[in-house]
Amino acid sequence: MQASIEQAAAQFIQPSDDFRPNFNRVPFQFLHNLVDHPLFTLPRLLELAKATRDQRPRDLYYDAGPEIRVDQRWDAMGPKSFPVEEALHRIENCGAWVTLHQAQKDPEYGAVFHECMREFERLTGVDFRQVMRVEDALIFITSPRRVTPYHIDRECNFLLQIRGEKSLHVFDRNDPDVLPVAEIERFWAVDNNAAIYKPQLQNRATTYRLVPGNGVHIPVNNPHWVQNDDNVSISLSVNFTWKDWERANIHRANFLLRKLGISPRPPKQSAAVDSVKNAVVATAYMPAFYMARGASRFLRRLKGDRGDGFRPSKNKPATT
């Protein structure tokens, strides 16, 4: 009876038995019906990119280059030599990885995103509105043969493949050889690039073939990287960050304790110790972190960074 209700309610996401037992526990594949949706054509996405540039420049990012490695850090991609609009026009041959954050702020994309969220709620049995802090419709537009480097995310992610084909390699977040606790702590505390790719452990990854019409659920902190096929790829990430920051704050506290030469307890070994760590980090560390991040963004704006990393030179206009 439950399956028939979910089937009748599904517009974009096809039901399966994996959602309830595996949600945010282990990765799994699913099917969707967004392949021919007109919002995910390149001309329409170019319109969205331009609107994002004008209204929310911090929600638009790209990098480009022919030699991006699996182990490349995001902060070592190098300067952008042309604006993101040009990257989209040249997407077939410029080696670009374009990301449009918060696409749901556009009403048309918002309608699709929120319908997907409601369907994922029904399929997982979780009321996302009660547990999430920030939601994000994130669209990836990727050049042929482009690599998306190895990384872990804060977000709980449903990745839907809409155009093109690629291979997604996902590792077990609970494997201490793949993801040591020190890397998790550093990631939550100070470094988005803390997860280090270990090529000798590549055989421990599960490889998913993403083709138009399928998708993969990636739980929080599962390491992964992507190899695009010889085609332009368009993907939609329906994701959110959890409202409960306690476990993240414990990792941050443990990172600081480890810097002092102390071997801290992992999360969930002592409720009392976890509570103290969470309280200290929430009231002291995080306010200082956000203040420092705000100052850094302000300084970048003074230098002419518009949000996507493109900085116009004296002889190059800021827009196309």
Tens of pLDDT, residue by residue, the chain (320 residues): 444 444 445 699 999 999 999 999 999 999 999 999 999 999 999 999 999 999 999 999 988 877 899 999 988 887 777 888 888 989 999 999 999 999 999 999 999 999 999 999 999 999 999 999 999 999 999 999 999 999 999 999 999 999 999 999 999 999 999 999 999 999 999 999 999 999 999 999 999 999 999 999 999 999 999 999 999 999 999 999 998 777 788 899 999 899 889 989 888 888 888 888 888 887 876 555 555 455 455 445 555 555 555 554 444 444 33
Nearest Cα to Cα of residue 192 among 310, 92, 61: 61
Q: pLDDT at position 149, please?
A: 96
**What is residue 159's three-state secondary structure?**
strand
Helix axes 2-9, 107-124, angle to 10 degrees: 170
pLDDT at 308: 54
The predicted structure's pLDDT at residue 274: 84
pLDDT at 298: 47
CA distance 263 to 160: 40
Residue 185, CA distances (Å) to 51, 177, 180, 250, 262 in order? 37, 15, 9, 8, 14
Q: What confidence score (pLDDT) does residue 306 get?
A: 55
Sheet order of strands, 147-151 included = 147-151, 224-228, 166-170, 206-210
- Distance between CA 170 and CA 35 in Å, rounded? 23
Handedness of CA 259, 224, 152, 72 (dihedral sign): positive
**Global pTM value:** 0.85
Q: Is 9 within 8 Å of 119 (Cβ atoms)?
A: yes
